[in-house]
Amino acid sequence: MGNWKTNYRVSDLSDTQKLEMICKKCSRLVYINKATICTAKGREQLYLDEIEKRARCKARGCKGQMRMAMVRQDEMSGFTGGLA
Ligand SMILES: [Zn+2]
């Protein structure tokens, strides 16, 4: 799992896979997926680390760098179960 950002292209993501983008400056958190990444042509050929490098926080006046994390759907369902 270590180098998934350099091993996976956007086109390798499943349609339901979500990624978290967290701003290193203001901690703004946004979720992205294949559809939202591919709003610009040619992006599905990019590796995920290239998407991460290009991403900038959209908060007003911030433009901080974003850190990408994969949202593990099995962990999320386990987490919800633990709360119930
Ligand atoms: Zn920010």
pLDDT tens sequence across 34-55: 999 999 889 999 999 999 999 9
Q: Is 44 part of a structural domain of the chain?
A: yes
- CA 23 from chain centre, in angstroms, equals 11
Q: Is 82 part of a structural domain of the chain?
A: no
- Model-level pTM? 0.80
pLDDT above 50 for 84: no
Distance between Cα 36 and ligand 1 center (Å): 19
Distance between Cα 15 and ligand 1 center (Å): 26
Q: Is 83 part of a structural domain of the chain?
A: no
The residues near 18 (Cβ < 8 Å, ≥ 6 apart) are 31, 32, 33, 71, 73
**In whole angstroms, what is the distance from residue 25 CA to residue 38 CA?**
25
- How many domains would you assign to the chain? 1
pLDDT above 70 for 79: no
Torsional class of 63: left (φ above 0), alpha (ψ -120 to 50), beta (otherwise): left
**In whole angstroms, what is the distance from residue 54 CA to residue 59 CA?**
15
Distance between Cα 31 and ligand 1 center (Å): 14
